[in-house]
Amino acid sequence: MTEEREPTQPERRETAAERSDRNWSELLQEVRVTQTGIQILSGFLLTVPFQARFTSLSPAMLGVFLGAVGFAALATLLVVAPVSLHRILFRRHVKEALVTTSDVLAKVGLVALAVTITLVTTLVFGFVLGETAALVAFVVAGIAFTGVWLVMPLVLRSRLAGPR
């Protein structure tokens, strides 16, 4: 994993406290977007067992479903955790630690969300078209999320960093 470095010249004239406040606000905006998606997806997953055809899921697809529910719960836990941290650490003057910890939680939460969406896609393809299609959907979704959510940002970060 590449270590992130601060640029040699600041792009803004701001104090460390102002930077922490800005970073916290930006992180909260990102978390809000993510939370909405997780909530909708989790709501969908929670209704699935109550559908008449749920009992016709194969054991493999039942495992995929349970994995999706588990990762949806994990994604929710991780993406909402910064709110809990903020409430408990409020007025303790530890914004930098709050931002740093919440950044890690949000990143791991995005991984859990990507796994959840990949498993839900697998479940739907498996239910509609069979387990071979489910496997193809799993691989395609996994490659797509890895490419767009991980590889592309890392390549862009590397290109924008320039020579060090």
Render pLDDT for 109-126 as a digit per residue (tens, 0 to 9). 999 999 999 999 999 999
**Higher local confidence (pLDDT), 6 or 14:** 14
Reported as a pLDDT band with limits 50, 70 and 90, residue 2 is very low
Q: Six-digit token pair at 63?
A: 């495992």
16 Rama class: left (phi>0) / alpha (psi -120 to 50) / beta = alpha
110 contact partners, CB below 8 Å, separation of at least 6 = 34, 75, 149
Three-state SS for 118-150 is HHHHHHHHHHHHCHHHHHHHHHHHHHHHHHHHH
Map out the domains of the chain as residue ranges: 17-161
Listed in sequence order, the DSSP H helices in 48-94 are 59-89
* pLDDT beyond 60 at 1: no
105 contact partners, CB below 8 Å, separation of at least 6 = 78, 79, 81, 82, 85
**Higher local confidence (pLDDT), 142 or 161:** 142
Render pLDDT for 84-143 as a digit per residue (tens, 0 to 9). 998 999 888 888 999 999 999 999 999 999 999 999 999 999 999 999 999 999 999 999
* pLDDT beyond 90 at 75: yes
Render pLDDT for 35-61 as a digit per residue (tens, 0 to 9). 888 999 999 999 999 999 999 999 999
In 10 A of CB 21, how many CB atoms? 14
Read off the pLDDT of each residue in 143-152 and give the average, rounded to a whole number.
Answer: 97
Contact 115, 71 (CB under 8 A): yes
